[in-house]
Amino acid sequence: MSPRRIIVLMVLSLVISGTALWLTNLEIEFEDATWEEVHEEAEAGGYQILTTEELYKMHQEVEDLVIVDTRQEWEYRLGHVENAENFFMQPWFWDRWMKRGDLSDFLREHARDKETALVFY
């Protein structure tokens, strides 16, 4: 291997590892999502946003409502909305397609037809 090639490789490895270190050591910004962001996301996803009170109204009035609790099973067990079913999805984007088949089965089991109202929380 020529000396030039070795130098290029060494510099390259320093650059890559430096970038990786910088990216993995960024301060984690954590803040609650604003209502605008929630609504934007909902619009992009094609679903609607409910407030707690609206959900309560539906809970009381809509007969074949399916409420889905997406938290972990132990959280569900400690307390959940009355009549809610547990379907655990981690808040990661790949769960959205990794668990797609499972969710399809889950909804087929719990929802009567495609018009049935579904509420996720």
Partner 1 sequence: MAVSLGYENVYRDPKGFEAWKDAGFPTVSLPAEAPATPLEAEGPGTLEGLALFGTLAAVFAGGLALNLTPCVYPLIPITVSFFGGMGGQGRGRLLIHGGLYILGLATTNSILGVAAALTGGLIGGLLQNPLVLAGIALVLLIFALSMFGFWELRLPASLNQAASRSFGGYFGSLFMGLTIGVVAAPCIGPFVLGLLAWVATMGSPLLGFAVFFTLSLGLGVPLFFLAVFSGKLQSLPRSGEWMIWVRKLLGWILVGMAVYFLKPLLGDLAGTFVMAAVFLAAALHLGLLDKTQAGFRAFVWMKSAVLLVGMTLAVFIAGSYALQGPGVAWDDYSEALLEQAREENKPVMLDFYADWCAPCRQLENVTFHDQDVVELSREFVTIKVDLTRGGVELHDRLVAEYGVRGVPTVIFLTPEGQEMEDLRVVDFIPPGEFLGLMHNALQKTEKE
Return the SS3 of 112.
Answer: coil
**Single residue of 16, 40, 43, 112 touching partner 1 by CB under 8 A:** 16
Q: Are 72 and 87 in contact (CB under 8 A)?
A: no
Site for partner 1 in 25-64 (CB under 8 A): 25, 28, 30, 33, 38, 42, 45-53, 55-56, 58-59
First to last CA, the chain: 59
Q: How far apart are CA 116 and CA 2, in angstroms?
A: 68
**Single residue of 36, 63, 79, 109 touching partner 1 by CB under 8 A:** 79
Q: How far apart are CA 69 and CA 107, in angstroms?
A: 13
**Single residue of 7, 43, 104, 112 touching partner 1 by CB under 8 A:** 104
Residues 6+ apart with CB under 8 A from 116: 64, 65, 66
Name the residues that contact partner 1, by CB under 8 A: 1, 5-6, 9-10, 12-14, 16-18, 20-21, 24-25, 28, 30, 33, 38, 42, 45-53, 55-56, 58-59, 69, 71-84, 86, 88, 90-92, 94, 96, 98, 100, 103-104, 107, 111, 114-121
